[in-house]
A and B are shown apart, each in its own frame.
Chain A
Amino acid sequence: MNAPDTPREFIAAIDQGTTSSRCIVFDRDGRIVAVDQKEHRQIFPRPGWVEHDATEIWRNVQEVTAGALAKSGITSDEVKAIGITNQRETTLLWEKATGRPVHNALVWQDTRTDQLCRELGRDTGQERFRRATGLPLASYFSGPKVRWLLDNVPGLRERAERGEILFGTMDSWVIWNLTGGPDGGQHVTDVTNASRTMLMNLHTMEWDREILAAMDVPAAVLPRIGSSAEIYGTAADGPLAGTPVASALGDQQAALFGQTCYAVGEGKSTYGTGTFLLMNTGEQPVSSYHGLLTTVGYRIGGQRPVYALEGAIAVTGALVQWMRDQMGLISTAAEIETLALSVEDNGGAYFVPAFSGLFAPYWRSDARGVIAGLTRYVTKAHLARAVLEATAWQTREIVDAMRKDSGTGLTALKVDGGMTANNLLMQNIADFLDVPVVRPMVSETTCLGAAYAAGLATGFWAGTEELRANWRRAAEWTPRMDPALRDREYRQWLKAVQRTMGWLDEES
């Protein structure tokens, strides 16, 4: 509620996500002024393959940006900066001269590089690049995806070596296009996105020559690695022409930033397509011995980078979508709660959605999904329960690993993302973890984090203390599950998890 004479000033955040692109405009208090969103196609050419059409994505990004501005009646000169956040790891190669993608983007969930990852592991195995990158060798990350494209698109490697081809994750693709594309577009990524490529050295924050050589990726395709909050360039045309593009963070790091987890030990869990729990570990990277990732949390301009430990779960909200789209058991994601509430419990059924193998803490690409404990008693409502419980138990596994790696337990879990609209799920998580679950007042923390970083880079906000003061508790769920029941159910869950492993032959 601005007084009439105070200037209207806003920050626009663009979130190029896995299922949709959205643009949200925030005011100085971090309040949402306008939202626009558009889904894009999920392309599944074969089992385990997932692709996006990057041209469609860029078109959608332009549309939602214009849409959000139109809805709010804000003019482009009232927008002081643009922040970018994006689905991470999703890999694109495009022609520098034309901006044409040479292939669909390979999405982070895509498992086509499984075999390649095993080959890259040589005799060291999954941990070969862990020390340099903080990551296990898995099809999840970008490096092997770049290699696959170079190997499989005819003539691409030669063109890449001649410098005609650019690589980027979605942040780079959006920034390059925003800042002019073939006409002077900035080819840049930020440290958080770069830390997910498996090509960047976590300690130097630069591309790692040895890994580039091992993966056979020519340096000519790589973007410059910038910080997460700096002016990369200005929008060349479109509704925000002339506005500085001032931040980029992977969506999960953006959510960490938006939840104002600026102190060591603070963390959040974001419930969207997948679920990602990140904890700030300060200026030192902490190695994981329990299946977590070491990653960059954020870096503000020239300040020192802040690291994070991450537990990544590939499939949570995506399982709800699968129940809707592939099984047709519900017509909207939210209806899963209605269906689940029509019964008291899971009826003995457990659903482990290892659709892209198992991520943290197992990192098993040979795993595939399983529904265990089926009897004739089980109904679709029990399965709906099992779907929600799968998200809660997977969180429990991550939190257990986090405690082992960091040596401290959680006192509360800060959550955000689309699935936090689900009250039953939030209660399940509180029950299964036996800690309170807390939701902040802005559930769109991903966009908020990108806006915060862009606002810091342009002086719109003075510092992180000012941002922290904006955080408000919107809801809190308290645990109320019988401990004996919790333990029994957890054992059943872990048994079901075991049954997913070794389903694919190659690795067993």
Chain B
Amino acid sequence: MARTIQSVERAAALLRLLAGGERRLGLSDIASAMGLAKATAHGLLRTLQREGFVEQDERSGKYQLGAELLRLGNSYLDVHELRARALVWTDDLARASGESAYLGVLHHGGVLLVHHVFRPDDSRQVLEIGALLPLHCTALGKVLSAYDPVAHSELAELELTAVTDRTVTDRAELEKELVRVRDRGWAGDLGGTWEGVASIAAPVFDRRRMPVGAVAVTGAVERMTVAGGAADGELSPRLIAAVRDCARSVSRDLGAGRF
């Protein structure tokens, strides 16, 4: 068996103690129940208190379980709740960008589209909600892989298949791109998933600043990129700004605070 860390075991035992029986306990009760010196117990309590796992009652000085523990248990954000919160902002993104807008979440080593807003022209379009897209080449997938450690580890298990001629299939190169994504706060895809189609995505965070999904716009490369000048062929700064604004608005609605 791998070596265990004694202080973590003690912290776990302390939390169990506070969870059972009497809710509030004083320092000496805790120390004697756990067979520890008072100073050791106090050190544990102070550390857990700083993480929000334990709270101290101001008047009695006794300790109890902290609110952060409750939050841990309820932290899972329902994807349909996420869609409901994103609705207004993704509508506005499609409208401002003139392109179709998407909301994606990590699902079984891919990106699940949980919301789709049509491009605001009168063309015939089909709702793509429920589609599963690859992680390694889409803008949504790259954002999730760059920000969400779970997505990143799932990406490590996947084969990097060439979906188009422009798909990045070299792992080192992809990793470098993910670092760039984190640095600038958004990901792009220029024809790496569909020929002639470009996409821009940005991350959505919940109130604990966990990445819970990503929003994106997708459209023809010609409309999504700058024509002429020094930036010829690069993704349009105006669209990048629109996607990031949208991601920030959804995050703010989820309580992520200003950033």
Contacts and interface: CB of A to CB of B under 8 A. Distances in A.
Nearest to A35: B88
B80 A474 contact: no
A261 B129 CA distance: 28
Given A35-B88, A423-B129, A475 B117 contact: yes
B10 interface: no
Contact of A332 (B78, B88, B95, B126): B78
A427 to B, nearest CB: 9
B84 interface: yes
Contact of B118 (A334, A422, A474): A474
B84 A441 contact: no
Nearest to A33: B92
A334 B81 contact: yes
A31 B117 contact: no
Interface string A460-497: 00000000000011111110000000000000000000
Contact of A443 (B80, B87, B120): B87
Given A32-B92, A443-B87, A443-B88, A421 B118 contact: no
A444 interface: yes
Contacts of B94: 441, 472, 474
A116 B190 CA distance: 69
B177 interface: no
Contacts of A1: 96
B60 to A, nearest CB: 32
Contacts of A442: 91
B206 to A, nearest CB: 14
Name, among B91, B92, B126, the residue most crowded by chain A CB atoms within 10 Å (CB to CB): B91
B117 A441 contact: yes
B127 interface: yes
B126 to A, nearest CB: 8
Contacts of B182: none
Interface string B73-117: 000001111011001100110111000000000000000000111
A335 B79 CA distance: 8
B122 interface: yes
A255 to B, nearest CB: 16
A498 interface: no
Nearest to A441: B91
Contacts of A334: 78, 80-81, 83-84
A338 B83 CA distance: 12
A486 B91 CA distance: 32
A337 interface: yes
Interface residues of A, number: 26
Contacts of B79: 338
Contacts of B129: 423
Given A441-B120, A443-B87, A444-B88, A472 B80 contact: no
B90 to A, nearest CB: 9
Contacts of B126: 478
Contacts of B96: 1, 31
Nearest to B242: A1
A472 B92 CA distance: 11
Nearest to A337: B80
A335 B118 contact: no
B6 interface: no
B134 to A, nearest CB: 22
Given A32-B88, A334-B83, A474 B78 contact: no
Nearest to B241: A1
A385 B188 CA distance: 38
Contacts of B91: 441-443, 474
A32 B246 CA distance: 13
Contacts of B80: 334-338, 421-423
Nearest to B87: A421
Interface in A116-139: none
Nearest to A418: B84
A474 B117 contact: yes
B239 to A, nearest CB: 12
A443 B116 CA distance: 14
B102 to A, nearest CB: 12
A476 B81 contact: no
Nearest to A442: B91
A31 B92 contact: yes
Name, among B80, B81, B118, B127, the residue most crowded by chain A CB atoms within 10 Å (CB to CB): B80
Contacts of B7: none
A324 to B, nearest CB: 12
B117 A421 contact: no
Contacts of A477: 127
Given A421-B87, A443-B88, A444-B88, A475 B95 contact: no
A476 B116 CA distance: 10
Nearest to A336: B80
A153 B118 CA distance: 54
B125 interface: yes
A334 B114 CA distance: 13
Contacts of A472: 94-95, 118, 120
A474 B116 CA distance: 8
A27 to B, nearest CB: 11
A475 B84 contact: no
Nearest to B252: A71
Nearest to B83: A421
Given A334-B80, A444-B88, A477-B127, 19 more contacts: A1-B96, A31-B92, A31-B96, A32-B88, A332-B78, A332-B84, A333-B84, A334-B83, A335-B78, A337-B80, A338-B80, A421-B80, A421-B83, A423-B80, A423-B115, A423-B129, A473-B122, A475-B117, A478-B126
Q: Which 3 A-B pairs have the closest CB atoms?
A: A334-B80, A421-B84, A472-B120
Interface of B: 78-81, 83-84, 87-88, 91-92, 94-96, 115-118, 120, 122, 125-127, 129
13 contacts: A31-B92, A32-B88, A332-B78, A335-B81, A423-B129, A441-B120, A442-B91, A443-B88, A472-B120, A473-B120, A476-B118, A476-B125, A476-B127
